Amino acid sequence: MNRILTSLIVFAFLLPCKVVNSSEIKEAFHIIELRKTAMQSLWHRIKRLSPYVELKEKVEYNKDLATDDAKEVLTLIKKTRGLWADSSNLSSKGFTNATPAVWALPNYFEKLYGSAESSALDLQNAIINDDIEGTVAAMCNLGKSCGTCHANFRRLLTSQLTNEVSGWSGKYINNCN
């Protein structure tokens, strides 16, 4: 009798569990890797743009390169927007630095992503139009959007905090309000 009861309890517990096959796991890892690569590329472009935006030093980085980087930032934000499928929620297993909050609070996550996309578009347009004040404001807003999203939805190691906070807080632009 105990054996039957134990079997029923185990069966009842396992019944709601979704069976995941190896192709789904491979796809989740692929999505996570795409996200990671795109975010690193975004960060690289933002860092390249900051001296141009601040006009703090003479560099061989001109408006054409800045425009290209701003366009690529916008493209990457748009492309990564769809890389948060439920199947890529492997945060509890330590396979991604995204926290489970991404999937638990999709509307808030989407709002922050939309803000980053809007700021990236503003940045691109301001650079194209030689709007220096608009460029600085858009860069600040982009940093704040990305920083807020990372603060809420990204798990960081203590060793990563300094770089993350100084970067996405928008402090790579002086006088960012």
Q: What is the tens place of the pLDDT at every residue in 8-37? A: 444 444 434 444 567 888 898 899 999 999
Domains and CATH numbers, the chain: 64-177 (1.20.120.10)
Give the global pTM: 0.75
Give CA–CA dist 29/34, Å, rounded: 9
Q: What is the dihedral of CA 28, 30, 36, 39, to 10 degrees?
A: -100
Give CA–CA dist 48/59, Å, rounded: 10
Q: What is the tens place of the pLDDT at every residue in 37-61? A: 998 898 889 888 887 787 755 567 7
**Which of 66, 65, 67, 104 has the alpha carbon at shortest distance from 84?**
104
**Which of 139, 113, 114 has the alpha carbon at shortest distance from 45?**
139
Give CA–CA dist 104/66, Å, rounded: 36
